[in-house]
Amino acid sequence: MWLDYFTNANIVSVDIRDEPTEPVFKNERFEYLKSDQIDILEVGKMIVRYREFFIIVDDASHVPEDQQFTLGYMFPFVESGGWYVIEDLKCRRSHSTRLPTCKKTIPVLESFKKTGKINIPCLTENQNNYLKNNVTDIVIYDKIAFMRKRDEY
């Protein structure tokens, strides 16, 4: 779907499942990385290759801690004026056992949008400050959130 929608884009997929074998995924514009979304060593390999992304879509574990940890880790790699998207914000998944407990992602983003303050427990102070200083817009539609990165130009 993303290859059809973004006809000039390269698509990088990170997923914990085995690599898809369907012919549709055999495309020079598509790359697959098998990894847990919070495994920064594995995900870091992909970041080294690409450096920046115009759009990052988190449609992974749906656990609030994983969503928020990934936001803090990946948002700096969104290019200036680009977008970060988190899908499936209303899943009934339990909390992570690997990260400090966080509130559900929607209330965290709604509070950030309203107050301009953010304090996600599974992020460092520097990561929280980076988000505070670089997220310029947050739009939430039911189960999906769009965050725009500050345009440096």
Identify the CATH homologous superfamily for domain 2-149: Vaccinia Virus protein VP39 (3.40.50.150)
CA distance 136 to 81: 9
State pLDDT tens for residues 62-103: 788 888 988 999 899 999 999 999 988 887 666 667 776 788
State pLDDT tens for residues 14-54: 777 766 666 666 778 887 777 777 777 777 888 888 888 89
Looking at residue 124, what is its pLDDT? 93
Residue-wise DSSP of 114-129: HHS----TTS-HHHHH
Q: Where are the domains of the chain?
A: 2-149
- The angle subtended at Cα 57 by Cα 81 and Cα 33, nearest 5°, is 120
Question: How confident is residue 110, by pLDDT bands cut at 50, 70 and 90?
Answer: very high
CA distance 117 to 128: 9
